[in-house]
Amino acid sequence: MEIKPQTIKVVVSEEIFDHMPKAEAEEQYKYLMSVLHGRTATCRPVVLSTKRFCESEHTIFLLHRNIIVGTGQISLADTFPTPHVYINNIVISPFVQKLGLGARLMRELSMLAVRKWGGDDRTLRLELTNNPNKKNAGFYYVQGFRARADGRWPVLVLKQVLNFLGWKAEDETVVWVKEV
Ligand SMILES: CC(C)(COP(=O)(O)OP(=O)(O)OC[C@H]1O[C@@H](n2cnc3c(N)ncnc32)[C@H](O)[C@@H]1OP(=O)(O)O)[C@@H](O)C(=O)NCCC(=O)NCCS
Protein backbone atom coordinates (compact mmCIF):
# COMPACT_ATOMS: atom_id res chain seq x y z
CA MET A 1 0.00 0.00 0.00
CA GLU A 2 1.40 3.39 -0.96
CA ILE A 3 0.94 6.00 1.74
CA LYS A 4 1.76 9.68 1.80
CA PRO A 5 1.52 11.62 5.09
CA GLN A 6 -0.99 14.07 3.57
CA THR A 7 -3.36 11.21 2.73
CA ILE A 8 -3.66 10.21 6.39
CA LYS A 9 -6.65 11.51 8.33
CA VAL A 10 -6.46 11.65 12.08
CA VAL A 11 -9.84 10.81 13.55
CA VAL A 12 -10.67 11.00 17.26
CA SER A 13 -13.09 8.64 19.04
CA GLU A 14 -16.69 8.70 17.82
CA GLU A 15 -15.77 10.83 14.77
CA ILE A 16 -14.84 7.48 13.21
CA PHE A 17 -18.54 6.82 12.66
CA ASP A 18 -18.70 9.86 10.34
CA HIS A 19 -16.30 7.97 8.06
CA MET A 20 -17.76 4.47 8.05
CA PRO A 21 -20.67 2.48 9.47
CA LYS A 22 -20.30 1.29 13.06
CA ALA A 23 -20.08 -2.40 12.14
CA GLU A 24 -17.31 -1.68 9.60
CA ALA A 25 -15.32 0.37 12.15
CA GLU A 26 -15.62 -2.44 14.71
CA GLU A 27 -14.54 -5.04 12.17
CA GLN A 28 -11.46 -3.05 11.16
CA TYR A 29 -10.61 -2.26 14.79
CA LYS A 30 -10.96 -5.92 15.70
CA TYR A 31 -8.48 -6.85 12.97
CA LEU A 32 -5.90 -4.42 14.38
CA MET A 33 -6.50 -5.72 17.91
CA SER A 34 -5.85 -9.25 16.63
CA VAL A 35 -2.50 -8.05 15.24
CA LEU A 36 -1.67 -6.82 18.72
CA HIS A 37 -3.32 -9.35 21.01
CA GLY A 38 -3.54 -12.44 18.82
CA ARG A 39 -6.36 -14.84 19.52
CA THR A 40 -7.54 -12.96 22.62
CA ALA A 41 -8.97 -10.32 20.31
CA THR A 42 -10.87 -12.77 18.16
CA CYS A 43 -12.51 -14.46 21.17
CA ARG A 44 -13.94 -11.27 22.64
CA PRO A 45 -16.43 -8.84 21.15
CA VAL A 46 -14.97 -5.47 20.20
CA VAL A 47 -17.40 -2.69 20.97
CA LEU A 48 -16.58 0.85 19.94
CA SER A 49 -19.26 2.59 21.94
CA THR A 50 -19.74 5.95 23.56
CA LYS A 51 -18.91 4.19 26.83
CA ARG A 52 -15.31 3.90 25.65
CA PHE A 53 -15.24 7.41 24.23
CA CYS A 54 -15.67 9.76 27.17
CA GLU A 55 -14.01 12.77 28.77
CA SER A 56 -11.21 10.70 30.32
CA GLU A 57 -10.61 8.29 27.45
CA HIS A 58 -9.98 8.81 23.75
CA THR A 59 -9.00 6.63 20.84
CA ILE A 60 -7.18 7.89 17.77
CA PHE A 61 -7.67 6.25 14.39
CA LEU A 62 -5.30 6.86 11.48
CA LEU A 63 -7.37 6.60 8.31
CA HIS A 64 -6.01 6.02 4.83
CA ARG A 65 -8.92 6.43 2.47
CA ASN A 66 -11.51 4.39 4.35
CA ILE A 67 -9.14 1.98 6.01
CA ILE A 68 -8.05 2.23 9.63
CA VAL A 69 -4.28 1.77 9.30
CA GLY A 70 -3.40 2.52 12.91
CA THR A 71 -4.90 3.14 16.30
CA GLY A 72 -4.01 3.98 19.90
CA GLN A 73 -5.80 4.90 23.08
CA ILE A 74 -5.18 7.42 25.88
CA SER A 75 -6.77 7.39 29.34
CA LEU A 76 -6.37 9.98 32.07
CA ALA A 77 -5.66 9.11 35.69
CA ASP A 78 -5.91 12.52 37.34
CA THR A 79 -3.40 11.77 40.09
CA PHE A 80 -1.69 14.28 42.41
CA PRO A 81 0.79 15.90 41.89
CA THR A 82 1.29 14.81 38.27
CA PRO A 83 -1.62 13.46 36.24
CA HIS A 84 -0.84 10.24 34.39
CA VAL A 85 -1.96 9.52 30.87
CA TYR A 86 -1.94 5.83 30.07
CA ILE A 87 -1.32 4.82 26.47
CA ASN A 88 -2.71 1.51 25.33
CA ASN A 89 -3.43 -0.61 22.29
CA ILE A 90 -0.90 0.99 19.95
CA VAL A 91 -0.84 -0.76 16.61
CA ILE A 92 -0.10 -0.04 12.97
CA SER A 93 -1.42 -2.34 10.26
CA PRO A 94 1.30 -4.84 9.22
CA PHE A 95 0.93 -3.70 5.59
CA VAL A 96 2.10 -0.18 6.40
CA GLN A 97 4.57 -0.57 9.25
CA LYS A 98 8.01 1.09 9.07
CA LEU A 99 6.66 4.06 7.11
CA GLY A 100 6.58 6.53 9.99
CA LEU A 101 2.94 5.98 10.93
CA GLY A 102 3.73 4.64 14.41
CA ALA A 103 5.70 7.81 15.17
CA ARG A 104 2.85 9.92 13.78
CA LEU A 105 0.36 8.06 15.97
CA MET A 106 2.44 8.65 19.11
CA ARG A 107 2.75 12.38 18.28
CA GLU A 108 -0.99 12.69 17.71
CA LEU A 109 -1.78 10.88 20.97
CA SER A 110 0.62 13.10 22.89
CA MET A 111 -0.82 16.30 21.35
CA LEU A 112 -4.38 15.16 22.03
CA ALA A 113 -3.51 14.43 25.67
CA VAL A 114 -2.04 17.92 26.11
CA ARG A 115 -5.02 19.51 24.34
CA LYS A 116 -7.56 17.65 26.47
CA TRP A 117 -5.88 17.49 29.85
CA GLY A 118 -2.77 19.68 29.85
CA GLY A 119 -2.48 23.44 29.87
CA ASP A 120 -1.96 25.94 32.69
CA ASP A 121 1.66 24.73 32.95
CA ARG A 122 0.36 21.34 34.01
CA THR A 123 2.85 18.59 33.26
CA LEU A 124 1.40 15.29 32.14
CA ARG A 125 3.20 12.02 32.51
CA LEU A 126 2.66 9.72 29.55
CA GLU A 127 3.04 6.12 30.60
CA LEU A 128 2.84 2.79 28.84
CA THR A 129 3.95 -0.75 29.35
CA ASN A 130 5.35 -3.14 26.82
CA ASN A 131 6.40 -6.73 26.84
CA PRO A 132 10.08 -7.04 25.93
CA ASN A 133 9.21 -10.16 23.94
CA LYS A 134 7.56 -7.89 21.37
CA LYS A 135 10.96 -6.33 20.71
CA ASN A 136 9.61 -2.85 20.18
CA ALA A 137 11.42 -1.07 23.03
CA GLY A 138 13.52 0.77 20.42
CA PHE A 139 10.35 2.27 18.97
CA TYR A 140 9.38 3.86 22.30
CA TYR A 141 12.95 4.98 22.92
CA VAL A 142 13.00 6.81 19.56
CA GLN A 143 9.72 8.54 20.56
CA GLY A 144 11.45 9.98 23.65
CA PHE A 145 10.16 7.50 26.24
CA ARG A 146 12.53 6.21 28.91
CA ALA A 147 12.24 3.01 30.92
CA ARG A 148 11.13 3.77 34.46
CA ALA A 149 13.69 2.25 36.76
CA ASP A 150 14.24 2.24 40.47
CA GLY A 151 17.16 4.67 40.79
CA ARG A 152 18.29 3.67 44.32
CA TRP A 153 21.92 2.58 44.19
CA PRO A 154 21.53 -0.84 45.87
CA VAL A 155 18.83 -1.70 43.30
CA LEU A 156 21.02 -0.50 40.41
CA VAL A 157 24.01 -2.51 41.66
CA LEU A 158 21.86 -5.62 42.11
CA LYS A 159 20.49 -5.24 38.58
CA GLN A 160 23.98 -4.90 37.14
CA VAL A 161 25.12 -8.03 38.97
CA LEU A 162 22.06 -9.98 37.72
CA ASN A 163 22.59 -8.70 34.17
CA PHE A 164 26.25 -9.74 34.38
CA LEU A 165 25.17 -13.22 35.45
CA GLY A 166 22.80 -13.37 32.47
CA TRP A 167 19.62 -13.44 34.57
CA LYS A 168 16.58 -11.95 32.91
CA ALA A 169 12.92 -12.48 33.70
CA GLU A 170 11.22 -13.90 30.60
CA ASP A 171 8.00 -11.99 31.12
CA GLU A 172 9.44 -8.79 32.56
CA THR A 173 7.18 -5.87 31.74
CA VAL A 174 8.83 -2.52 31.15
CA VAL A 175 7.12 0.74 32.09
CA TRP A 176 7.99 3.59 29.72
CA VAL A 177 7.48 7.20 30.73
CA LYS A 178 7.69 10.62 29.12
CA GLU A 179 6.80 14.03 30.56
CA VAL A 180 4.95 16.42 28.24
C1 LIG B 1 5.54 -0.91 17.09
C2 LIG B 1 4.79 -0.25 15.93
C3 LIG B 1 3.58 0.51 16.48
C4 LIG B 1 5.74 0.72 15.21
O5 LIG B 1 5.04 1.37 14.16
P6 LIG B 1 5.75 1.71 12.77
O7 LIG B 1 4.80 2.50 11.94
O8 LIG B 1 6.27 0.47 12.16
O9 LIG B 1 6.96 2.62 13.26
P10 LIG B 1 7.60 3.89 12.49
O11 LIG B 1 7.80 3.54 11.06
O12 LIG B 1 6.80 5.09 12.79
O13 LIG B 1 9.01 3.99 13.22
C14 LIG B 1 9.40 5.13 13.96
C15 LIG B 1 10.81 4.91 14.46
O16 LIG B 1 10.83 3.79 15.38
C17 LIG B 1 11.74 2.81 14.91
N18 LIG B 1 11.14 1.49 15.15
C19 LIG B 1 9.96 1.04 14.69
N20 LIG B 1 9.72 -0.20 15.13
C21 LIG B 1 10.80 -0.54 15.88
C22 LIG B 1 11.16 -1.71 16.63
N23 LIG B 1 10.36 -2.78 16.69
N24 LIG B 1 12.35 -1.71 17.28
C25 LIG B 1 13.17 -0.63 17.24
N26 LIG B 1 12.88 0.51 16.56
C27 LIG B 1 11.71 0.55 15.90
C28 LIG B 1 11.90 3.06 13.42
O29 LIG B 1 13.13 2.57 12.93
C30 LIG B 1 11.81 4.55 13.36
O31 LIG B 1 13.05 5.14 13.74
P32 LIG B 1 13.66 6.43 12.97
O33 LIG B 1 12.67 7.55 13.21
O34 LIG B 1 14.97 6.66 13.64
O35 LIG B 1 13.71 6.05 11.53
C36 LIG B 1 4.35 -1.30 14.88
O37 LIG B 1 5.46 -2.02 14.45
C38 LIG B 1 3.29 -2.28 15.38
O39 LIG B 1 2.10 -1.97 15.33
N40 LIG B 1 3.73 -3.47 15.83
C41 LIG B 1 2.80 -4.54 16.26
C42 LIG B 1 1.99 -4.16 17.48
C43 LIG B 1 2.85 -3.70 18.63
O44 LIG B 1 3.89 -4.28 18.96
N45 LIG B 1 2.36 -2.60 19.28
C46 LIG B 1 2.98 -2.06 20.46
C47 LIG B 1 2.44 -2.72 21.66
S48 LIG B 1 3.42 -2.43 23.11
The whole-angstrom separation of Cα 82 and Cα 77 is: 9
Q: For residue 144, report the distance from its CA to the centre of ligand 1, in Å.
A: 13
| Helix/strand/coil (H/E/C) assignment for every residue in 26-50 | HHHHHHHHHHHHCHHHHHCCCCCCC
Q: Hey, what amino acid is at 81?
A: P
Rounded to whole angstroms, the Cα distance separating 5 from 101 reads 8
**Ligand 1 mutation target, pool 73, 93, 98, most atoms within 8 A of CB:** 98
Q: Contact at 8 Å (CB) between 123 and 172?
A: no
Which residue's CA is minimally distant from atom 35 of ligand 1? Answer: 100
C-alpha pair distances (Å), 171 with each of 52, 87, 131, 133: 29, 20, 7, 8
Tell me the pTM. Answer: 0.90
In order of their start, the domains of the chain are 5-179 (3.40.630.30)
Show pLDDT as tens, one digit a residue, over the chain (180 residues). 678 878 999 999 999 999 999 999 999 999 999 999 988 777 777 788 766 788 999 999 999 999 999 999 999 998 888 899 999 999 999 999 999 999 999 999 999 999 999 977 788 999 999 877 788 888 999 999 998 876 778 877 887 888 788 876 655 678 999 999
Q: Calculate how far, in angstroms, residue 106's C-alpha sits from the geometric centre of ligand 1.
A: 10
Distance 158 CA to ligand 1 centre (A): 31
